[in-house]
Amino acid sequence: MAHSQTPTWGVTCSARADSTLCRRAFAIAQELESPYWDRPDGPLDDFIDTQQLDALIVVGQRDIVVHTPHARLRHHPNAAVLRVVNMLRDRRDAFVNLAQLMPGDHVLDCTCGMGADAIAAAHAVGESGTVRALEASPLLALLVRCGMQRYRHPNHIAVTEAMRRVSVFNGHYQDVLPTCKDNSFDVVYFDPMFDRTVSKSNGLDLVRTFAQSGLPQRADISEAQRVARRCVLMKDQMPGRTLQALGFSLVKKARRFCYGRIECNL
């Protein structure tokens, strides 16, 4: 099994794939600058080991699955489902409330991850608003972008509709923020990958494997303040040392994490 600073992966298609799906898988391999194989015979774990891959991306008709020898990762709205349902029941969502999101707002999520906050934001801003989500990891950006485009919740159409309104881009906020116009978003949001895992979820551990770590610097926050009309919001682990070092005011504390906010254009 290959272990390097930069994960090594390849792409294939699901079993009994037609020519259209194979072409789509090949296009994804080109996007990731990774090798493509027709569906290999035998167990995928054996193929991953033989090719010394960190992961094999399997492109199916409905979704994309990242296979590793020890786990599987596919995109799912997860906690965003309950968050959207709660908002439909007029219950407050902490992130939406702290960002003061309303219909028609424009949000830049600088650290998309699996997109739960972006989905909640897309529901809050509605059809007249926009949510742009940046993800530095090419693999996670692909996985989440395809999930936002293809996943359909069996019971809650509002979740599906919110997912369709999220635009996911592979890019790092350090590169993207300087290209944004002044006051081009109402809210700019950061939720960097914590140094320590808060959740015991195996899925989160796998996300951490492929995510690109790093915390915003003062220059990034300055750019975010220029871009945001209302506020810059950031999540941190308790007791919020990173927030305080970057000039945020603590606006909400929980057992394991906290939020900081910087008001813009006062």
For residues 92 and 68, state if they share a domain.
Answer: no
Check residue 195 and give its pLDDT.
54
pLDDT in tens, 149-198: 999 998 899 999 999 999 999 999 999 999 999 999 999 999 997 654 44
Domain ends where: 24, 40, 73?
A: 73
Q: Inform me whether the pLDDT recorded for 241 exceeds 90.
A: yes
Q: Which range is least confidently modeled, 19-28, 88-97, 209-218, 250-259?
A: 209-218
Sign (positive or negative) of CA dihedral 53, 207, 163, 110:
negative
Question: Could you tell me if 53 and 84 lie in one domain?
Answer: no
- pLDDT, mean of residues 122-139: 96
pLDDT band (50, 70, 90) for residue 2: very low
Residue 223 lies in a domain: yes
**Angle of helix 116-125 relative to helix 157-164, nearest 10 degrees?**
100
Which pLDDT band holds residue 1 (cuts at 50, 70, 90)? Answer: very low
Residues of the domain holding 24? 9-73
Report the range out of 8-17, 37-46, 159-168 with the highest average pLDDT: 159-168
For residues 66 and 173, give the distance between their C-alpha atoms in angstroms, rounded to a whole number.
25
Measure the CA–CA gap between 67 and 193, rounded to whole angstroms: 22
Asked whether 3 and 30 are in contact (CB, 8 A), the reply is no
Work out the pLDDT band at 113, boundaries 50, 70, 90.
very high
* pLDDT of res. 214: 79
Closest CA relative to residue 155, chosen from 81, 80, 64, 79: 81
On whether residue 4 sits in a domain, the answer given is: no
| C-beta atoms surrounding 42 within 10 Å | 8
Domain of 33, CATH number, reads 3.40.50.800
Residue 89 has a pLDDT of: 96
Span 96-103, mean pLDDT? 97
Is residue 110 a part of any domain in this protein?
yes
Q: What percent of the chain has pLDDT over 90?
A: 78
For residue 28, pLDDT beyond 80: yes
Between the CA atoms of 246, 172, 116 and 263, what dihedral angle is there, to the nearest 10 degrees? 30
In this structure, the answer to whether residues 230 and 107 fall within a common structural domain is yes
* pLDDT reading at 204 higher than 90: no
Do residues 149 and 118 share a domain?
yes
